[in-house]
Structure 1
Amino acid sequence: MGILSWIVFGLIAGAIAKWITPGEDPGGCLITIIIGVIGGVLGGWIGTQLGFGDISGFNVKSFLLAIAGSVILLLIYRAVKRK
Structure 2
Amino acid sequence: MGIIWTIILGFIIGLIAKLLHPGKENMGFIMTVLLGIGGAFTAGVVGQALGWYQAGEGAGFIASVIAAIVLLVIYGKIRQK
Asked if these proteins are the same fold (TM beyond 0.5), I'd say: yes
Tell me, in whole angstroms, the C-alpha distance in 1 between the residues paired with 2:28 and 2:77.
Answer: 17
In structure 1, stretches of 5+ residues that fail to align are: none
In structure 2, stretches of 5+ residues that fail to align are: none
The answer to whether the 8 Å contact 1:12/1:36 transfers is yes
User: 1:38: Cα distance to partner?
Assistant: 1.1
Tell me, in whole angstroms, the C-alpha distance in 1 between the residues paired with 2:45 and 2:9.
Answer: 13
Determine whether 1:50 maps to 2:50. Answer: yes
Q: Which runs of 4+ in 1 moved over 3 A?
A: none
Q: What is the Cα-based RMSD across aligned positions, in Å? A: 2.1
The answer to whether the 8 Å contact 1:9/1:63 transfers is no
AA matched with 1:19: L
Query: 2:28: which partner in 1?
Result: 29
Determine whether 1:20 maps to 2:17. Answer: no
Query: 1:71: which partner in 2?
Result: 69
The answer to whether the 8 Å contact 2:53/2:59 transfers is no
Secondary structure of the equivalent of 1:16?
A: helix
The answer to whether the 8 Å contact 2:35/2:68 transfers is yes
User: 1:22: Cα distance to partner?
Assistant: 3.0
Query: 1:80: which partner in 2?
Result: 78
Normalised by the length of structure 2, the TM-score is 0.77
What is the percent sequence identity of the aligned residues? 30
Cα deviation code 1:44-75 (max 9, x no counterpart): 111112211332x2x32111111111111111
Count matched residues: 77
